[in-house]
Structure 1
Amino acid sequence: MADNVLAVKGGRLIDGTGGPPIDNAVILIQDGRFKAVGDVRQIPVPRDAEVVDASGKSVLPGFIDGHGHLEDFHGELYLHLGITTCCTINTFQDGPWTRAQKEGTALGKIKGPRIFMSGRAIGGERVRPEGASDSRTVRGNIVVRTAEEARRAVRRKWELGCDQIKLNEFLSFDLVKVIVEEAHGLGMPVITHSVDAIQSSNAGVDSIEHIWAIGNTTILYPPARMQLHNDRLAGKIDQEIVCSYYQTENYGPIIDAMVRNQTAWTPTLAKWLRPLSCYADRFRARENEILNNPKNGLPASVRGVTDNAYDKLFMRYTPEQRDRARIGLEKAYEFIRRFVAAGGRLKEGSDPPRGMAALLVHEAMAMDVEAGVPPMVAIQAATLNAAKAYRKDKDLGSVEVGKIADLCIVDGDPLKDIWATQNVKLVVMDGKVIDPAFTGYRNPIPAFYAYQTIPGDLEISPLSVVQGTGPTTLRVRGKGMWPFHRVMLKKEFGSLFNLNATELPTKYISRQELEAVIAPELVMEAGTYTVTVKAEGEVLPESNRAHLIVNFRQ
């Protein structure tokens, strides 16, 4: 045995293959890969090896987030929760920032998981449903209309260093087939949104995302199907309730097609419906433990979106609405049970921001078990199944000789209590031992866009004040306000961003309104002032501007 061997010994190995656990396991790692795996009777530990004692703990493959949306503060959070690979689906830009994160992580310059990226989704043209924002239906998609445009878009992504292709739900069956053929020829998997999961599966995609892709497909009358989909996009039907409309008697053909074609599926239920889970109290306790850690490095908006899931269901919903949501959750659970029982490839992912990235993966695994999935299969959903869906299973997803050495060492036995997966004590990534504790880490290449949607056009009242008067209550109206939004005031009319702005004391009124207070000393000079909204803790991203006129005192 050569030098520089890492030996992980004494733990109970759940290797991700679905085989029985190995008690008192020994795992030898060299040059970043697994060199030997077995029990203590089979594998001698070299005398000069670095030893990690995992006695009394469970050892699992490093987890994979199969549906991520990477942010600049996610890296340490992922490692804290044992996730060593993030398959990120970009939204608004084609990857220069994400590519920098991917390369920086690979070089060891940025702390975080291994990154596989898609860049912007490729999609078809779609008229925006009435009431839906551009971001909910277009999201910066690369629109293709012909087979040649589709092939060119795929090749361009490959040239840019993308690892997978993401599609939206507005492409024709023929164009999806063209994209799949081109992508697979380049070794790239295809991940898709869908309003017809059977067609998407038959077109050869590797994974279908979200419960609504399944639910839409159960509505057999096409106009009714698209109406339900458009109503969800426009916010006329909440995502928490839409599952209650699905027709469970039509699950069979969907399952048959996806199993036959080995199409993976990612439910992403936890982001919306985890407050209704039997694990909800444990979810909430762990969320608060992370949010209250002063070294977590998370912006205030993470608490806002995490809390919102519970506030919406238990403070803003009526009992009747909650009952509809529970009906929908059980319908989703029924599909999960039947899909897995038929041999379907269940894959899990965070799909933030309606919750906490990384932790949502563990919450999703717990909800899979609640649905009736064996714990071993739930673990595979965030390890080997995710690796297979992204065509990375030769290197990742299980603890087998020759694969990249990623491990997650946890307290407890997740085969007895699936929630033990989040109780991470040590991480190994690329054969290197990582302490998962928070340190307050800051990403050296921060993102240049807002983590949460910033309201667009603002309206303010009053429109003018007299210099040196006040305090003045300023009402700021716009779409998409959150409790973590702050009103900013600056005199340098036309200057960029919030660099010279003053943050005003801000009160959240509703999703359409904030209230702020302008002290007299902030308007001592007459002039044109700008008013913007930003998220607490973020510097650069800001809303469009409103203008406050400060008149001369008579």
Structure 2
Amino acid sequence: MKHLTIGLLSAFALLHSCSAAAEKIALVGGRLIDGTASLPLKNSVVLINDGKVESVGQVDTLEVPEGYRVISTEGHDVLPGLWENHAHLQLTGHANYPHWQANYRDRFVSEIMPAALVQLLLAGVTSVRDLGAPLDDTIAMKQQLADGSLPGPHLYASGPFIQWQVDDWQSSYRWAVQSKAEAIKRIDQLADAGMDIVKLIDHDDMPRELVETIVQHAHKRNLKVVAHAHKPNEIRIGVEVGVDNFEHTGLTTAPGYPEDVLAALRERTATGIFDGLLFWTPTVEGLYTYEEAIKNHEYLDDSCWHRGLKDDTIADIQASLAAPGQLSYKQLVPLRQPTLKRKIEQLRETGVVMLVGTDVGIPMKFHCQTTWHEMAVWVDEMGFSPMETIRAATYWPAVMMGVEDQYGSITEGKVADIIAVRGDVLKYINLLQRVDFVMKEGVVYKENGRVNEVILPAQLRQ
């Protein structure tokens, strides 16, 4: 199969950036893991035309038509683009949140959020849910992604958190809501601004009728509702009022979830097929591997997270992480870590549908690395199979967001968001740390492990 030289690749990328819709591509030879419940397809052929999957077949049965550029995927697993279901684009690993908000707030749109988006994309993440950022900044990112001036994943965003009380230093990305009228006003503001999600936290501090108003009005405006699950009452109330998706594993050092909480989850998941689905994003890896990271934090020196960031930003982040074992944010983690496996087991037993998400952006967690970290912990430590982990990062997030007719699998008519990895990801899931091929909407951003730098804005190149 033919491979482009670096010079030809750059020339193609320059042309491609101006006429992406005209490009016809055939991915030929790899094993296709399409995101559905189908068995992997050996010697696959995927035809892409005008940014969508035109046909799927095998080398012996589907001929590549004339005019298609052939990209060999021999020796690779071909998968749908990954979803990162719990990201913070305004954060990028710094250990001091008040310092970050005070010193980088005016850089979010120009530097921080674009860097996060392109790092995710080049790591194979073609869809992301950003759960908590200033509204104007999020609007700006959505506009830049839509007009093509900024490369990045499809962005599903919440804008600011909704909660009962907010500290002054957090007020740019968290909204205090304390009345029904204010709740309706804020939900309408989010919906009118093009947000996709309402993020609800500490809702056990709110009057019950206020929580109901938030969830009901969000659903009326076609917004999904995600909620923190740090406390038992957050879960109890969230289940009762119809929250769509819980975030985090929660309950600090408690050995497990109370039985009445588990019973409520089981009842909620038994109410139907898709109408009864309840989603859960456990964000478990950052907790589970923290003690290992203290022993070996060489990954913090990986320059992949420098892409798009200014030198002084990089130096400030590095200084904040100089002593990983002393981070105040993480001091309770060693006591929480032994409880995590049992909590994951309990959640799986209730029938909730798990989604891969990482809380990326929090201290020590970088957008270029974290999604595959989470997937590896699911498989290697938490008892998930590689296939269900892949589907939790591809198919099920699209179902949760109501876009499974366009995204989440490599099937005819879907948007061509596709990645490829050299080797067997069903045996070695951590191969996802080096995604060799990244395509979003038919545009190739990485091929043969090389980034198509020329189609990136200058400040996002390396």
TM bracket (short chain): 0.7 to 0.9
CA drift at 1:86? 1.8
Match of 1:433 among 420, 426, 444: 444
**Match of residue 245, structure 1, among 237, 249, 254:** 254
Q: Structure 1 residue aligned with 2:141, among 101, 117, 120?
A: 101
CA distance in 1, matches of 2:256, 2:357: 25
Asked if 1:267 corresponds to 2:277, the answer is no
CA gap of 1:89–1:46, structure 2 versus 1, over 3 A, is same
Distance 1:117 1:207 in 2: 14
Asked whether the 8 Å contact 2:45–2:57 carries over to 1, the reply is yes
2:244–2:279 CA contact under 8 A, matched in 1: yes
Partner of 1:60: 79
Aligned counterpart, 1:404: 415
For residue 341 of structure 1, report the CA deviation from its aligned partner. 4.7
| Residue among 347, 362, 367 paired with 2:355 | 347
From 76, 80, 85, the counterpart of 2:127: 85
Residue 408 of structure 2 corresponds to residue 392 of structure 1: no
Distance in 1 (alpha carbons) for counterparts of 2:224 and 2:61:
38
> What is the distance in 2 between the residues matched to 1:293 and 1:359?
12
CA distance in 1, matches of 2:298, 2:189: 44
User: Following TM superposition, by how much is the alpha carbon of 1:295 offset from its aligned partner in structure 2, in angstroms?
Assistant: 8.4
Match of residue 336 from structure 1: 344
**Partners of 2:154 and 2:87 in 1: CA distance:** 12
Provide the secondary structure at the position in 1 that maps to 2:37: coil
Q: Tell me how far 1:428 sits from its aligned partner.
A: 0.5
1:418 has 2:429 as partner: yes
1:256 equivalent in alignment to 2:291: no
Structure that is richer in helix per residue = 2
Identify which of 205, 209, 212 aligns with 1:174: 209
- Percent same amino acid among aligned pairs? 27
Which one has more relative contact order, counting CA pairs under 8 Å at least 6 apart?
Answer: 2
Distance 1:10 1:294 in 2: 32
Contact 1:124 1:172 in 2 (8 A): no
Find the counterpart in structure 2 of residue 515 from structure 1: none
Q: Within 2, Cα distance between the matches of 1:67 and 1:75?
A: 13
Q: In the alignment, is the contact (CA less than 8 A) between 1:334 and 1:371 conserved in 2? A: no
Aligned length: 395
5 Å-filtered alignment, 1:108-257, equals: 108-125=148-165, 140-170=173-203, 171-194=206-229, 195=231, 196-212=234-250, 215=251, 242=252, 244-248=253-257, 250=259, 252-253=262-263, 255-257=265-267
Paired with 1:179 and 1:3, the residues of 2 have a C-alpha distance of 44
Give the TM-score normalised by structure 2: 0.76
Letter in 2 for 1:108: G
1:8 aligns with 2:40: no
d(CA) in 2 for partners of 1:386 and 1:282? 33
Q: Measured at CA, do residues 258 and 361 of structure 1 come closer, stay the same or move farther in structure 2, by a change above 3 Å?
A: farther
SS of match in other structure, 2:372: helix
Taking the TM superposition and a 5 Å limit, the aligned residue runs for 1:317-328 are 324-325=334-335, 328=336
TM-score by length of 1: 0.64
Question: 1:276 Cα shift?
Answer: 4.2
RMSD over equivalenced CA pairs, Å? 3.2
- CA spacing shift, 1:308–1:15, aligned 2, 3 Å: farther
Measured in 1, the distance between the counterparts of 2:114 and 2:265 equals: 37
The farther-off stretch of 244-253 and 394-403 is 244-253
Pick closer, same or farther for the CA change 1:15–1:123 going to 2, 3 Å.
same
Matched, 1:75 2:155: no
- CA gap of 1:152–1:11, structure 2 versus 1, over 3 A, is same
Aligned position for 1:36:
55
Matched with 2:7 is: none
What secondary structure is seen at the aligned counterpart in 1 of 2:239?
Answer: helix
One-letter amino acid of the counterpart of residue 377, structure 1: E
Give per-residue Cα distances to partners, 1:219-268, cap 9 Å, x unaligned.
xxxxxxxxxxxxxxxxxxxxxxx3x3343563632541453442211112
Letter in 2 for 1:201: V
The residue matched to 2:287 in structure 1 has which SS? helix
Distance 1:296 1:56 in 2: 34
The separation in 2 between residues aligned to 1:300 and 1:55, in whole angstroms, is 41
The answer as to whether partners of 1:110 and 1:444 remain within 8 angstroms in 2 is no
Provide the C-alpha distance between the structure 1 equivalents of 2:348 and 2:192, rounded to a whole number of angstroms.
36
- SS for the counterpart of 1:400 is coil
1:399 and 1:405 in contact (8 A); partners too: yes
| 5+ residue gaps, structure 1 | 127-132, 216-241, 446-554
Q: Distance in 2 between matches of 1:290 and 1:116?
A: 27
Aligned partners of 1:388, 1:73: CA distance in 2, in Å? 27
**C-alpha distance in 2 between matches for 1:115 and 1:380:** 19
Query: Tell me, which stretches of 5 or more residues in structure 2 are unaligned?
Result: 1-20, 90-112, 271-275
Aligned amino acid, residue 27 of structure 1: V
Q: Per the alignment, in what secondary structure is the counterpart of residue 114 of structure 2?
A: coil
Does the 8 Å CA contact 2:119/2:304 hold for their aligned counterparts? no
1:263 & 1:74 partners in 2: Cα distance? 28
Q: Is the aligned partner of 1:359 residue 2:359? A: no
Query: Which structure is higher in strand share?
Result: 1
Q: Which amino acid aligns with 1:368?
A: W
Q: For the Cα contact (< 8 Å) 1:266–1:346, is it kept in 2?
A: yes
* 1:208 counterpart letter in structure 2: F
What is the distance in 2 between the residues matched to 1:306 and 1:378? 30
Cα deviation, residue 23, structure 1: 1.0
